[in-house]
Amino acid sequence: MEKWCHTKINFSHDWLRNIYLRSLDSFIKQIHYVKPDIEFLKEKIKSEIPEIELKYNEATWLIENCESEMSPRQYFISGPLSKMNNDSKDWMSDLIHSMWLFRYSIQELLQKGRHLLTEISKNLEIIKSKTADVEDWRHEDYLQIYDDVKILRQNCKEFSNILSELPNEIKIT
């Protein structure tokens, strides 16, 4: 549980919201300047926008491990409820887990998270294919990927919101 929570905070708040989304915002704003800094835009395209690829496994791990790490079932594995007899522990942990899934819409959130990760990957591939030869680009060339970067930013923002809705602690319904 602690590893999951720590990873979620580092990924969602520290990196995704405070670094990556701000980087995308600065790219989007710079495109609209009358005389944009082409070197700035080129650097964003070459090194900063693709950073999400380096974090993709971490994002996937958060989505794939949330249910097992944050379920109130954990209290039946270690903690005071682990001392119950096995028959009671089995049915009660299943019941509490099911109630938790329903009350906090965990499976729906995780499904949305998986979908957004797929969309982010597609967005990035589109941007990479369009920017393969960015060295000699002019301002007009960057305008061609403006919408693609905005979609990437929107999907990343929605993914961040999904992570914010996921639990920060184990809750018993």
The CATH number of the domain where 55 resides is what? 1.20.120
Q: 172 in a domain, yes or no?
A: no
If you average pLDDT over residues 32-51, what whole number do you get?
A: 89
> Contact, 62 vs 110, CB < 8 A?
no
Mean pLDDT, rounded, for 53-71 = 96
**137 close to 38: Cβ distance less than 8 angstroms:** yes
| Per-residue confidence (pLDDT) for residue 56, from 0 to 100 | 95
Identify the pLDDT of residue 103: 95
Query: Where does residue 38 rank: exposed (0-12), middle (13-18), buried (19+ CB within 10 A)?
Result: middle
Q: Whole-number mean pLDDT of the chain?
A: 93
Quick count: other Cβ atoms within 10 Å of Cβ 8? Answer: 21
78: in domain: no
Q: For residues 152 and 36, which has the higher predicted lDDT (pLDDT)? A: 152
C-beta separation of 58 from 11 below 8 A = yes
- The number of domains in the chain is 1
Q: Which of 63, 72, 59 is nearest to 17 (CA)?
A: 59
For residue 79, is it within any domain? no
Which structural domain range is residue 18 located in?
Answer: 2-73+84-165
Task: Say how far residue 20 (Cα) sits from the centre of its chain.
Answer: 11
Q: Residue with structure tokens 């600065």?
A: 26
Answer whether 165's CB lies under 8 Å from 5's CB: no
